[in-house]
Amino acid sequence: MPGPPSAKPPIFKIGFESYDDFLVEYGDHLRKGVLMLPAEMGLGPGQDVRIKLVLPNQKVLYLKGSTREHSAGGYRAQGGQKPGSDEIQVQLATFSAEQTQALESCVSGAISSEAKPNTVEDVGPINLLLVDDSVGVRIELGDALRDRGLRVRVAENGLVAIAAALKRPPEIILSDVEMPVMDGWTFLRMTRARQRLAHIPFVFFTRLTDDLSRLQAYRMGVEDFLSKDTGADEVLARLHGVLARHKNRSIPAATSALGQGGQGLRGDLEHVKLGSLMSFLESEKRSGRLLLDNGRDQAVLEINRGSLAGVENLGNYSHAHDRVFELLDWPTGNFEFAQTDDGDMPEAAGELTQLTYLLMEHARRADEAANLQDGPQHGQDE
């Protein structure tokens, strides 16, 4: 008599949350005709299985295979769940030509998706609104930027500029500060208060040099500062830089915690010294994380109600205070402060340190070092 019919092979669904997850699994296993399943599935060696493989581009492949021995691995399961420490290997049947093409197409899609952020640039001339009460600036700089491929509209004050922006929103605004009828501050506030304009990058074209004024501008949503003597080539480069940073942000500044009326700040240490920023955070009793990055090094200061709670990445130092003193000496870099509610701040590892104390101690050490350098020089005895 014939034996009982054999049970159908179990079917497992495997998917990927992202192209990156797929690339990891493809590089480690799929390209070798192998898949990994969690050992807790209860499969023994030599058992036939079927796989429903859902690729990131939603293409579905139905595969067959049989289990082999257990091993450690890097399986990526549907939903991003992490398996146990052991996994069982599935040796897949040879891919058909259609399945091979589908896998290779998904690999190509992963590569293309990675390249997109760097290729969506310069799709057309930049649409700039230049605002300045000086006729010479509007003509000379406007013509120079047009010669360099920009589409430039001009306005002589903030009132004319806000009307022009509402009529046809620009991609970026370059505005003077001191103007008649409506100055740059009022114009900035009006753009940030209107949903149609709040996302537009705003650059101040100004002689502002004091940290408090620049910090206030950053708080209101200014992206950068250009001095009045900046040449057209540098103006163009800086505008491109602002637009690139703006496009790479996952959340527009105007709708994030760093936008107008929000809880955060971002800016350039060349424009606002770290000491001035720390003084502001202490006076406002802010809490949050202050990221500092100079392109070669970065650190995060944890601020709790205007005091230092800790430092992430101490660099070459064993004490947080010494690291802060080094950061205060950075001549260039970027800062980004993201505010959090006091209740969301983690418990401080030690005692909180007033930022004023750190600033005073840093100044004392700088004076001490200067005195050592400028001290009396002792010559030979006569």
- Per-residue pLDDT for 209 more than 70? no
249 within some domain: yes
Domain stop point among 232, 260, 288 = 260
- Per-residue pLDDT for 70 more than 70? no
Report, as an integer, the average pLDDT of 234-247.
86
For residues 189 and 214, membership in a common domain is answered with yes
Q: How crowded is the C-beta side of 351, counted as CA atoms within 13 Å? A: 3
Mean pLDDT, rounded, of the chain: 78
- Per-residue pLDDT for 380 more than 50? no
Task: Give me the pLDDT at residue 360, please.
Answer: 87
More confident residue, 289 or 109: 289
Question: What CATH number should be reported for the domain holding residue 225?
Answer: 3.40.50.2300
Task: Give me the pLDDT at residue 156, please.
Answer: 93
For residues 245 and 334, membership in a common domain is answered with no
List the one residue out of 243, 123, 122, 125 whose CA is nearest residue 174.
243
Report, as an integer, the average pLDDT of 309-316.
88
Task: Give me the pLDDT at residue 53, please.
Answer: 87
Give tens-digit pLDDT for 12-32. Answer: 888 887 777 787 788 888 888
Task: Give me the pLDDT at residue 105, please.
Answer: 83
Domain stop point among 260, 288, 317 = 260
Give tens-digit pLDDT for 97-114. Answer: 888 888 888 877 766 554
Task: Give me the pLDDT at residue 286, please.
Answer: 85
Q: Check: CB of residue 212 under 8 Å from CB of residue 245.
A: no
Q: Check: CB of residue 301 under 8 Å from CB of residue 324.
A: yes
Task: Give me the pLDDT at residue 75, please.
Answer: 38
241 within some domain: yes
Task: Give me the pLDDT at residue 321, please.
Answer: 92
For residues 133 and 249, membership in a common domain is answered with yes
Give counts: helices (H), strands (E), the chain.
Answer: 10, 16
Q: Check: CB of residue 292 under 8 Å from CB of residue 333.
A: yes
Residue 233 neighbours by CB distance under 10 Å:
11
Rounded to whole angstroms, the maximal C-alpha distance in the chain is: 123
**115-124, 135-144, 202-211, 277-286: the lowest-pLDDT one:** 115-124
Report, as an integer, the average pLDDT of 240-268.
58
For residues 256 and 130, membership in a common domain is answered with yes
Give tens-digit pLDDT for 152-176. Answer: 999 999 999 998 898 899 999 999 9
- Per-residue pLDDT for 236 more than 50? yes
Could you tell me where the DSSP H helices lie in the chain?
19-28, 97-119, 135-147, 158-167, 184-192, 211-220, 232-248, 274-283, 320-328, 355-374
Task: Give me the pLDDT at residue 339, please.
Answer: 81
281 within some domain: yes
22 within some domain: yes
Report, as an integer, the average pLDDT of 23-51.
82
- Per-residue pLDDT for 374 more than 70? no
- Per-residue pLDDT for 288 more than 60? yes
For residues 15 and 113, membership in a common domain is answered with yes
Report, as an integer, the average pLDDT of 314-337.
88
- Per-residue pLDDT for 264 more than 80? no
Q: Which domain range does residue 345 map to?
A: 263-368
6 within some domain: no
Report, as an integer, the average pLDDT of 244-253.
59
For residues 131 and 235, membership in a common domain is answered with yes
Q: Check: CB of residue 14 under 8 Å from CB of residue 53.
A: yes
Task: Give me the pLDDT at residue 277, please.
Answer: 82
374 within some domain: no
- Per-residue pLDDT for 43 more than 80? no
How many percent of the chain have pLDDT more than 90? 16
- Per-residue pLDDT for 78 more than 80? no
186 within some domain: yes
Task: Give me the pLDDT at residue 275, please.
Answer: 84
378 within some domain: no
For residues 73 and 185, membership in a common domain is answered with no
Domain stop point among 260, 289, 308 = 260
List the one residue out of 70, 71, 76 whose CA is nearest residue 25.
76
